[in-house]
Chain A
Amino acid sequence: MPETVAIIDYGSGNLRSAEKAFARAASDAALPVEVVVTSDPGVVGRADRIVLPGVGAFGDCAQGLRALDGMVDALEHAVLRQAKPFFGICVGMHLMAKQGFEHGVHEGLGWIDGAVKALTPSDPDLKIPHMGWNTIELTARGSAHPVSHVVAADDHAYFVHSYQMELADEAALLGFANYGGHVTAIVGRDNMVGTQFHPEKSQAVGLKLITAFLEWRP
């Protein structure tokens, strides 16, 4: 039986590249995986792994997710109670936080103790958005984590964001980028991980991270 990976479609941006990247990573690693893009909480409930992508603003995305009847309940049941592996990408990762301060204050899923706030690089000459390829430094936890450990010191990932997750729970930090200070790049606890960068746009580095997620048995 192939595993099912559900990529949640809640009206936020392009899911095709995420879908194709997960499918490619699975086929390159010969993992029997079926990738489905879905807005059906039932499908999410039956899936083996769950991916929450997202582009745009925190508030719009949170609203979009909640607009899908039963989706937040299905997610909480699958991720918090059944401990299914979960991967949040960019704003999908932001939504794991308690709150987002992007155009107002918005409630997140509250899975990770942190808040999403505007990037404020120490060097005022640095451009916002933080856009492009940056390296990632893993924390001690990140180096030992079954998913994030595959990121090497000179690997680059593709970032594009103006807000970042500021963690109250430092233990959830697996990796960070440097951009006028530390920028939260990879977070995780228990059966969930999230990346600020876009693995589906990060060429080989992204694919190997996705593969590690697909092989992860938390």
Chain B
Amino acid sequence: MLKSRIIPCLDVKDGRVVKGVNFVDLIDAGDPVEQARVYDAAGADELTFLDITASSDKRDILLDVVQRTAEQCFMPLTVGGGVRGADDVRKLLLAGADKVSLMTAAVKNPPVISELAEKFGSQCIVVAVDAKQVSPGKWEVFTHGGRTATGIDAVAYSQQAASLGAGEILLTSMDRDGTREGFDITLTRAIADSISVPVIASGGVGTLEHLTEGVTQGHASAVLAASIFHFGDYTIAEAKAHMRRAGVAVRETV
């Protein structure tokens, strides 16, 4: 049967990992490729790079990082951050990314989703939705790291993105991101139950129980986390063992 996925996410700035695992055996803990190899060996189901490089003239550094990662890690790699259109997508895919995640460009101009899905296939177009609760049972799409409100309903937008050809929705609760209080389960479930494409839950993971809840209660197909793995609180294997004990089917490799 199909397994629920655990996806570690690495923030990359100017080609360097901003927060990463600090294992002693790493030659260079700031090198995203080294980090990717650690997660590959640890049995992560996929890997996501989020490029937070501010200056546009340094953005090509990421392509080199993606290229070197793809040469060594034979697992699915998603890259997001600052992707605007077909040119960016093509460059990333040719460098070795398997999926590309769109954020602001898709919010500003949703038809770009169908343009890219037709050109590259839905399987590689992930639409990232950053959502913040505005009233009970109501969430709005935000951009710029949760600073800019768009007035767009997050559930309706996710449905639109899926119908335009997004292959997956990466859903982040901006209320929970960084809090370690767990996913916004109500939000995750509201979106996962209303669209036919897989939802990756993100934002707020602090314990292994949170990962499990994302699947069992939030109905997510995959769970994404950063700090609980990077800071060495838990390993991927511990996360999978916990999920399996809770009745969630996972791929155990180690």
Contacts and interface: CB of A to CB of B under 8 A. Distances in A.
B71 A178 contact: no
Nearest to B252: A154
A57 interface: yes
Given A21-B74, A129-B167, A203-B40, A160 B196 contact: no
Contacts of A149: none
Given A127-B198, A131-B168, A134-B3, A14 B94 contact: yes
Contacts of A200: 74
A38 B196 CA distance: 37
B123 A16 contact: no
Interface residues of A, dominant DSSP:
mixed
B75 A203 contact: yes
A158 to B, nearest CB: 6
Contacts, number: 101
B197 interface: yes
A20 interface: yes
A127 B74 contact: no
B158 to A, nearest CB: 13
A130 B1 CA distance: 11
Interface string A193-217: 0000010111110110000000000
Contacts of A133: 2-3, 5, 45, 251
A207 to B, nearest CB: 7
Contacts of B98: 14, 17, 201
A156 interface: yes
A17 B47 CA distance: 15
Chain A interface size band reads 35 or more
Nearest to B97: A14
Interface string B184-217: 0000000000001110000000000000000000
Nearest to A156: B251
Given A14-B96, A14-B98, A128 B74 contact: no
A48 B198 CA distance: 40
A134 B2 contact: yes
Interface in B43-96: 45, 67, 70-72, 74-76, 93-96
Nearest to B71: A20
Given A57-B121, A127-B221, A134-B3, A207 B74 contact: yes
B45 A132 contact: yes
A201 B46 CA distance: 9
Interface of A: 13-14, 16-17, 20-21, 24, 55-57, 126-135, 156, 158-162, 177-179, 198, 200-204, 206-207
